[in-house]
């Protein structure tokens, strides 16, 4: 027998697709269709209703972009408004004013963080958190929370042409924009000659300032050389850093910092500066954008390509470019590194190089690791001299 629930007659309304209901006759009902089709249609409807959103860049993709300068507009949080109200209670006709004060706006603080390596994560605009308005019963509004902007260690903060902060130490802070003061409620204006004030003040706006952030890599030693001199290969040979290495010039497009660990548990930070060309101080090649990363290095490694004819002229050109960028930069303690001695023509040029520059030049091969230990000894010696002569700088947070 046919069940009675299948003998119902009359038109019915069924779900006919995404966002559409269809009225059909009893003989047209799809009894053979499995019930999962209805659930699938509902799933399609919910999927259709969700607008596709733009996915933010992942942290891995964000680290691919190296940014060493940024213009930032920062606004402090606005203060909350004061409230004008009076106490209301049964059998108490004159309760008096009880309007609370507004909360202060939140500050915006720049903070140096060792985990941040680039200014790519810094936005172009920041707005501090606003304070809440006051309430009844003399309740003050909640103050705005402090907004921290994490920047790399070595960030220089400029306002116009003036340097206002140098965040060269981990944890250093600078108050970029202060929040506005909260408004006063009418309770604040209560006096003997005014027992029922109705005056209240609005919250003050926060500071608005425009900064230019400039990143200068913080390292003990900086490797300076022309393109394809083998700086990245040398950094891979003396540290655990893994910059890209290829047989064409300008492989390195951003500074890389590697840590050289000595036997006495000392750590020396060595920066691989992108290749400098003749006329870099006039913004040729990669320009002077990366020359400023050498400014913080206390001693330098001039990496020369021994496979080139007359390699000692490279040292003169490199010192000239550094001196044109900043006076006295080329006079810092340095080591001359002659690379690529694994090539026959380069090994033949070592005696002539030392005759020109003296026996202190270190001839090595970053590809095979030949004589790399001599460079590590020289690095350790320069680091000891730097520690002995450099005064200990305090690490107190900077406050604007």
- Give me the CATH number covering residue 371: 3.40.50.300
Tokens matching residue 194: 């005014």
How far is Cα 18 from Cα 90, in angstroms, rounded to an integer? 59
Q: How many CB atoms lie within 10 A of CB 294?
A: 25
Domain with 265 in it: 219-392
* Mean per-residue pLDDT, 265-292: 67
Contact 304, 339 (CB under 8 A): yes
pLDDT exceeds cutoff 80 at 375: yes
Cα angle vertex 318, ends 312, 321, to 5°? 150
**Average pLDDT over every residue of 232-239:** 88
Q: Does residue 33 lie within any of the structural domains?
A: no
In SS3 terms, 329-371 reads as HHHCCEEEEEECCCCHHHHHCHHHHHHHHCCCCEECECCCCEC
In a domain, 382, yes or no: yes
- Report the number of distinct structural domains present in the chain: 1
pTM recorded for the entire structure: 0.62
Nearest to 227 by CA among 249, 201, 258, 204: 249
Dihedral through CA 51, CA 56, CA 60, CA 61, nearest 10? Answer: 100
Question: By mean pLDDT, which of 24-28, 225-229, 285-289, 319-323 is the weakest?
Answer: 24-28
The pLDDT score that the predictor gives to residue 273 is 80
Q: Give yes or no for residue 6 having a pLDDT over 80.
A: no
> Considering the domain boundaries, does residue 337 fall inside one?
yes
Q: What is the DSSP string of 250-290?
A: ----S-EEEEEEPTTS-EEEEEEPPPP-TTGGGT-TTGGGT
Confidence check: pLDDT of 218 > 80: no
211, β-bridge pairs: 72
Q: Is residue 244 part of a domain?
A: yes
Q: Does 14 map to a domain?
A: no
Q: Which residue has the higher pLDDT, 1 or 188?
A: 188
Q: Is residue 210 part of a domain?
A: no
Residue 184 maps to a domain? no
What is the rounded CA–CA span in Å between residue 365 and residue 343? 9
Among 26-35, 37-46, 101-110, 270-279, which is the least confidently predicted range?
37-46
- Write down the pLDDT at residue 172: 92
Is pLDDT of 97 > 60?
Answer: yes
What angle (nearest 5°) sits at the alpha carbon of residue 105, between those of residues 104 and 110? 130
First and final C-alpha spacing in the chain: 89
Q: Determine contact, residues 156/70, Cβ cutoff 8 Å.
A: no
Q: Is residue 253 part of a domain?
A: yes
47 versus 197: the higher-pLDDT residue is 197
Give yes or no for residue 396 having a pLDDT over 90. no
CB burial string 170-201: b at 16+ within 10 A, e below = eebbbbbbbbbbbbbbbbbbeeeeeeebeebb
């Amino acid at each position: 027998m046919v069940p009675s629930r299948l003998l119902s007659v009359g038109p019915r309304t069924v779900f006919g697709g995404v966002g559409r209901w269809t009225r059909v006759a009893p003989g047209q009902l799809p009894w053979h269709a499995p019930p999962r089709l209805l659930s699938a249609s509902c799933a399609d409807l919910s999927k259709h209703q969700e607008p596709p959103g733009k996915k933010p860049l992942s942290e891995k993709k964000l680290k691919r972009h190296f940014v060493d300068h940024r213009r930032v507009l920062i606004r402090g949080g606005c203060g909350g408004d004061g409230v004008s109200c009076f106490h209301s209670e049964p059998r108490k006709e004159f309760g008096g004013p009880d309007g609370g004060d507004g909360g202060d706006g939140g500050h915006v603080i720049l903070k140096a963080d060792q985990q941040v390596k680039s200014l790519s994560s810094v936005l172009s605009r920041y707005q501090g958190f606003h304070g809440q308005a006051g309430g009844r019963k003399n309740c003050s509004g909640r103050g705005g929370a402090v907004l921290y902007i994490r920047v790399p260690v070595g960030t220089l903060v400029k306002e116009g042409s003036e340097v206002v902060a140098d965040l060269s130490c981990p944890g250093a802070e600078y108050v970029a924009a202060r929040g506005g003061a909260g408004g006063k409620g009418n309770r604040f204006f209560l006096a003997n000659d005014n027992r029922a004030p109705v005056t209240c003040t609005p919250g003050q706006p926060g500071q608005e300032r425009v900064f230019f952030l400039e990143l200068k890599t913080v390292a003990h030693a900086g490797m300076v050389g022309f393109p394809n001199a083998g700086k990245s290969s040398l950094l891979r040979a003396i540290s655990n850093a893994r910059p890209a290495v290829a047989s064409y010039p300008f492989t390195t497009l951003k500074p890389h910092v590697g840590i050289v660990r000595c036997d006495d548990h000392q750590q020396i930070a060595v920066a691989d500066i992108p290749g400098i060309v003749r006329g870099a101080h006039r913004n040729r090649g990669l320009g002077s954008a990366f020359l400023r990363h050498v400014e913080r290095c206390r001693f330098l490694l001039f990496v020369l390509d021994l496979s080139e004819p007359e390699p000692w002229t490279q040292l003169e050109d490199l010192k000239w470019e550094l001196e044109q960028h900043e006076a006295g930069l080329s006079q810092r303690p340095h080591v001359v590194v002659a690379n690529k001695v694994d090539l026959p023509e380069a090994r033949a040029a070592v005696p002539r190089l030392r005759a020109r520059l003296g026996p202190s030049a270190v001839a090595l091969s970053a590809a095979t690791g030949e004589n790399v230990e001599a460079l590590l000894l020289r690095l350790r010696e320069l680091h000891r001299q730097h520690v002995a002569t450099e005064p200990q700088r305090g690490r107190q947070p900077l406050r604007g």
